[in-house]
């Protein structure tokens, strides 16, 4: 058996960020288990992208991976344009709305998921305190008085040889929305079907994205055009959230007809749309674990919560989980610099769980409020909504607050995600 302080199940963006954050602030021995291989970037942009806010960018800077991410592919955006299809309401956001905020900053970045994961993976691989277990799937978790035993499944054909079990003080489930770890600890879940499917694809727009994130609220749901590939100013990733029936109809269209629908839906604001990738669709479900912590097991990221993608905050929420948990574990370090290797301090982990569950609950409520507000299509409601949005566009303090929330500029950020502004 091999012994570690922390076993992280899931080597996605959130799990890898946690591993690097722990190594940044402690000398803990970390194990990462994940059978999803790392793959090289292709010349074509990946369809799955993430909107990275300033808090997440700061975390990546402090983990010494931001330079590697920037050396690959990423697209900044300095403006956001949001409007109500067929209504009067529109909102425009820019850094000017933040007043004294540094002018060389961006509202955020649109980055291919693979770019971020590859940079984090390579950084973790170079750390002697992090060990990867990528050949065998996990089979079981057994919690003892002071440790957790995790075994590998050697019966599956894809597994290569027999892998000895691992022993850890703490197990972190960072293994996504269908978390295996969450299933093992049988924690209760609050779920709600959004009655939306998301269509994601890559498109080109004839008038260019102009370093702007665009989002239109249609009667069936929001459609976002997220700028990527700065080389041509024309490539965007779309996230089209709509009813299951409409998603089925749209994905059945040929590429030309689908692109025509996008051009019409966007009121031609980006010019003529051209589809340049496959389309992928997946159902949208709100999930919230009743307990983020159970004994010596902690859930973070999509294993703990999933939200509607209309504000692009899912990954940022998970990255804050990672930074907060790392800070919580680091707080166990004594004045002499020796960390309490028990790690599963009920006081510390319960405080982490309360804080992160509260943040996730607030975000879920905000997404639901926005979704419900724009789903009402009665003419009177649309008129009032349009007037309200137009008024909001002119109220600078309210806009400033909304932008600060989107950028992750909160007073209670963990140290690794806190931007020190000059």
* Rounded distance between C-alpha atoms, residue 414 and residue 400, angstroms: 22
- SS3 string of 165-176? CEEEEEEEECCC
DSSP string, 186-206: T--EEEEEEEEEEEEEEEEET
Question: Which residues of the chain are modeled with pLDDT < 50?
Answer: 157, 335-337, 379, 381, 422
* pLDDT averaged over every residue in the chain: 88
Q: Residues 36-71, buried b or exposed e (16+ Cβ, 10 A)?
A: eeeeeeeeebbbebbbbbbbbbbbbebbebbebbbe
Q: What's the pLDDT at 370? A: 75
Residue 122, both tokens: 């390579």
Tokens of 391: 């008024």
Burial of 102 (0-12, 13-18, 19+ CB in 10 A): exposed
Q: Which residue segments constitute the domains of the chain, with CATH numbers given?
A: 2-76+111-190+286-375 (3.50.50.60)
Q: Give the contacts of 278 (CB within 8 A, at least 6 positions apart).
A: 47, 201
- Predicted pLDDT at 19: 98
Going from the C-alpha of 309 to that of each of 63, 65, 76, 156, the distances in angstroms are: 26, 25, 19, 35
C-alpha closest to that of 296 among 1, 7, 3: 7
Those residues with Cβ within 8 angstroms of residue 106's Cβ, 6 or more apart along the chain or in another chain: 76, 77, 78, 95
Residue 250: partners with Cβ closer than 8 Å, 6 or more residues away: 199, 240, 242, 258, 261, 279
Q: Distance between CA atoms of 416 and 21, rounded to whole angstroms?
A: 8
The pLDDT of residue 336? 43
Calculate the alpha carbon distances from 243 to 191, 214, 371 in Å.
Answer: 18, 20, 12
Helix (H) or strand (E) segment spanning residue 49: strand 49-52
What is the rounded distance in angstroms from the CA atom of residue 166 to the CA atom of residue 154?
Answer: 14
- DSSP E strands in 66-220: the ranges are 75-77, 79-84, 90-94, 108-112, 130-133, 138-143, 148-152, 166-173, 189-205, 212-218
pLDDT tens for 13-49 read: 999 999 999 999 999 999 999 999 999 988 888 999 9
Residue 389's pLDDT is what? 65
**How many CB atoms are closer than 10 A to CB 205?**
26
pLDDT for 84: 85
Q: How does strand 130-133 pair with strand 30-33?
A: parallel
| Phi, psi for residue 211 in degrees, rounded to 5 | 55, 40
pLDDT in tens, 39-57: 998 888 899 999 999 999 9
Q: Which residues contact 374 (CB under 8 A, 6 or more apart)?
A: 84, 217, 222, 385
Structure tokens at 306: 């999933």
pLDDT value at residue 93: 85
Of the candidates 87, 94, 165, 15, the residue with the CA atom closest to the CA atom of residue 378: 87
Q: Residues, the chain, total?
A: 422
| Cβ burial 324-334 (10 Å sphere, 16+ → b, else e) | bbbbbbbebee
């Amino acid at each position: 058996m091999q012994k570690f302080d922390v076993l992280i199940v899931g080597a996605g963006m959130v799990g890898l960020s946690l591993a690097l954050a722990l190594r940044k602030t402690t000398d803990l021995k970390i194990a990462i288990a994940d059978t999803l291989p790392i793959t090289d970037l292709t010349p074509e942009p990946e369809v799955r992208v993430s909107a990275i806010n300033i808090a997440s960018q700061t975390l990546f800077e402090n983990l010494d991976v931001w330079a590697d991410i920037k050396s690959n592919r990423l697209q900044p955006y300095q403006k956001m344009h949001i409007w109500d299809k067929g209504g009067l309401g529109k909102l425009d956001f820019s850094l000017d709305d933040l007043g004294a905020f540094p002018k060389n900053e961006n509202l955020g970045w649109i980055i291919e998921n693979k770019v971020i994961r590859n940079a984090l993976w390579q950084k973790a691989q170079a750390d002697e305190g992090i060990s990867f277990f990528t050949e065998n799937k996990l089979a079981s978790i057994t919690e003892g008085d002071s440790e957790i035993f995790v075994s590998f499944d050697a019966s599956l054909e894809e597994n290569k040889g027999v892998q000895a079990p691992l022993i850890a003080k703490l197990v972190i489930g960072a293994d996504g929305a269908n978390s295996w770890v969450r299933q093992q600890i049988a924690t209760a879940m609050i779920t709600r079907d959004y009655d939306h499917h998301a269509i994601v694809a890559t498109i080109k727009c004839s008038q260019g994205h102009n370093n702007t994130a665009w989002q239109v609220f249609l009667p069936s749901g929001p459609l976002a055009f997220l700028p990527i590939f700065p080389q041509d100013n024309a490539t965007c990733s779309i996230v089209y959230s709509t009813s299951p029936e409409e998603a089925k109809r749209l994905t059945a269209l040929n590429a030309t007809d689908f692109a025509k629908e996008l051009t019409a839906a966007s009121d031609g604001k980006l010019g003529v749309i051209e589809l340049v990738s496959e389309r992928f669709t997946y159902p949208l479900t709100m999930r919230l674990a009743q307990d983020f912590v159970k004994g010596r097991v902690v859930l973070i990221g999509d294993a703990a919560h999933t939200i509607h993608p209309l504000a692009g905050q899912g990954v940022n929420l998970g990255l804050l989980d990672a930074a907060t948990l790392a800070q919580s574990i680091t707080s166990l370090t004594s004045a002499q610099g020796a960390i309490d290797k028990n790690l599963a301090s009920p006081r510390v982990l319960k405080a982490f769980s309360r804080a992160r569950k509260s943040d996730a609950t607030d975000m879920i409520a905000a997404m639901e409020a926005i979704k419900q507000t724009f789903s009402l299509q009665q003419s009177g409601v649309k008129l009032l909504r349009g007037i309200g949005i137009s008024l909001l566009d002119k109220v600078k303090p309210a806009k400033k607050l909304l932008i600060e929330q989107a950028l992750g500029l909160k007073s209670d950020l963990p140290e690794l995600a806190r931007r020190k502004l000059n």
